Structures are given as structure tokens and as C-alpha cells.
Amino acid sequence: TALEKVQAKSDAQAILNQPKTNMSSALNKIENLGERNPLNDKEIIIGKTAIEIEPHLDGKSLWYKNIRAFEKGKGDATKTLKKIQEIADKEGVNLISEVSAFGEGGMTNKQLDKWYKKLGWEDYTQGRIMYRGEPLVLGNKMKDIPID
């Protein structure tokens, strides 16, 4: 509904107005890899690719909406995604996305899922996938179990 859209926009703006975090630092570094598309200011053009990425509503992850390569099958999207994952690793930020094919001549959902998994993404929740830049920390109640 319109009210939900206004609330979601308000929530996203509140996240952007928070003090500098690893998430905002990671987003700035990703934006500095390229420049905004003058025809679509939601896209960042990086090399021969365009991506859409924004703060996730959890306030500490990035919502990676999509990537498109201007020339299919040349490895450009893989190169760009690896650069983004390096930033996520350095900043300790997770990337969250959905596997969703779009456009003509690109990969199918099944091919995309395999591609993301090959690049270190894992199933997350509700049909979403995640790249873990934030290290997993085990609680103090966890104990070592020998694997002999």
C-alpha cells in the first residue's frame, strides 16, 4: 500500500541518517568504484557493469538489488561482484539479495543461483541469499568439539 511505501522510504532514510557505520563506509567505497548512471540514479556504473545497491533495513547490511553486464558472458559481472565482496569483507558487512533473472540473454534463475554460490553466497531466508562479510561470532556457551 501507499502507507507501507512511505514507511519503507522513511525507514531507509532513517538508516542513512544514522552515524557513520561499516555499512555506510562500505556503500561509499562501492560508490567510489564507479559513477551514478545519469539515466538511472539508482544504478552505479562500474566498468562494464551497472549495479543497484542500498542500505538494508537491518541497518548493518547492504541490499544488493541487481547487477547487469553490458556485454554478457565476458566475466565483467563476476569481476565487479568480487570487488564488492572484497569491500564487504574489509568492512565486515553482509550483502543480502534475491536470485532473480531479468532482461534478455542473461542467466536463468538456476544459473544465477549456481553463479552466486560459486562466489561464496549462501541461502539466507525467505528465498534470499547472503554473502557474509561480517564474521560469525560464536557465543560464549559454545564449546569446542574434537573431530577425530
pLDDT tens-digit readout, 78-94: 999 999 999 999 999 99
Residues in contact with 59: Cβ distance below 8 Å, sequence separation at least 6, in sequence order:
15, 18, 21, 23
Instruction: In whole angstroms, give the CA distance from residue 80 to residue 3.
Output: 36
The β-bridge partners of 49 are 46, 69
Question: What integer pLDDT is reported at residue 19 of this predicted model?
Answer: 43
**Distance set, CA 82 to CA 20, 85, 95, 131, 135 (Å):** 24, 5, 12, 11, 17
Burial of 106 (0-12, 13-18, 19+ CB in 10 A): middle
Residues in contact with 40: Cβ distance below 8 Å, sequence separation at least 6, in sequence order:
50
Question: What integer pLDDT is reported at residue 100 of this predicted model?
Answer: 87
Question: What integer pLDDT is reported at residue 3 of this predicted model?
Answer: 53
- Identify the segments of the chain with pLDDT beneath 70: 1-20, 136-146, 148
